[in-house]
Amino acid sequence: MSDPSENPLPITIIEETEQDDGWNFKVVIDLDLDHSRTLMIRLGWVDYNFWSPSGSARPGDVVRAVLSMFLEAIPGHELQAKLDAARIRRLVPDADTRIPLLIRKSSP
């Protein structure tokens, strides 16, 4: 598998809403010069705490890392309009190991 950080697609977070059990994000993914997709992705507290056990990562950085892995596993135009970050575990067997590495690469 290729490292999604080697060929990152622009992922723009439009809206972040905190809820009792995590966050909902509205994001735009630029697929190419003429095409983009707007998606909703949910990041639960449980997943955030697993991928950022120290709590130091911004939730948006976690979502970008997860979306990068989704885009590696599924073509962008085939992604569902509503996603749950936890679903990545079913698509990418080593997601729990790779996501924290992607978060560290994307964090300032």
Classify 94 as helix, strand or coil: coil
Contact 74, 88 (CB under 8 A): no
**pTM across the whole model:** 0.87
For 92, the 3-state DSSP assignment is coil
Q: Which residues does 26 contact at the CB level (< 8 Å), separation at least 6?
A: 13, 14, 15, 38, 39, 40
* Band of pLDDT at residue 4, cut at 50, 70 and 90: very low
Q: What is the pLDDT of residues 23-44, one digit of tens each?
A: 999 999 998 878 899 999 999 9
Beta strands per DSSP E along the chain: 11-19, 22-32, 35-44, 82-84
Instruction: For tokens 């630029």, name the residue.
Output: 30
